[in-house]
């Protein structure tokens, strides 16, 4: 189970826009900044807090990450790898062929 728990320090980059990944994360503790870069300017989009999910777009559509995610404080995430739950997804989802 420890392999599914990820810890990050404040100001640590969790993922970057364009990163290939389909894992879903649940924030167990901490606070995250979701942002994009426009040239040298950081454009904040949202903050994610304890009990919220991160990465749901890539989890469901299989596309690369759509934004940067940065830990604003010490953060613990619970990783839900897509390959671990693919067989548990509804049949209609499996028919879409997004896996």
How long, in residues, is the chain? 99
| Cβ atoms within 10 Å, residue 93 | 13
Which band of pLDDT confidence, cut at 50, 70 and 90, is reported for residue 87? low
pLDDT at 89 over 70: no
**CA neighbor of 33 nearest in space, from 67, 76, 77:** 67
pLDDT at 84 over 70: no
Give the pLDDT of residue 61.
83
Q: Is 59 left (phi over 0), alpha (psi -120 to 50) or beta?
A: alpha
- Can you point out the beta strands (E) in the chain? 5-8, 13-15, 24-29, 31-38, 41-49, 53-54, 68-71, 75-80
Which band of pLDDT confidence, cut at 50, 70 and 90, is reported for residue 22? confident
Give the pLDDT of residue 96.
65
pTM: 0.79
Name the one residue in this structure whose structure tokens are 């009990």: 51
């Amino acid at each position: 189970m420890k392999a599914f728990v990820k810890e990050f320090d404040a100001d640590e980059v969790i993922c970057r826009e364009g990163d290939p990944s389909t894992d879903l994360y649940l924030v167990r503790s901490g606070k995250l900044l979701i942002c994009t870069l426009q040239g040298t300017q950081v454009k904040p989009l949202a903050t994610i807090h304890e009990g919220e999910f991160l990465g749901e777009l890539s989890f469901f559509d299989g596309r690369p990450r759509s934004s940067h995610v940065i830990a604003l404080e010490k953060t613990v995430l619970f990783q839900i790898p897509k390959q671990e739950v693919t067989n548990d997804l509804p049949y209609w989802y499996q028919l879409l062929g997004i896996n």
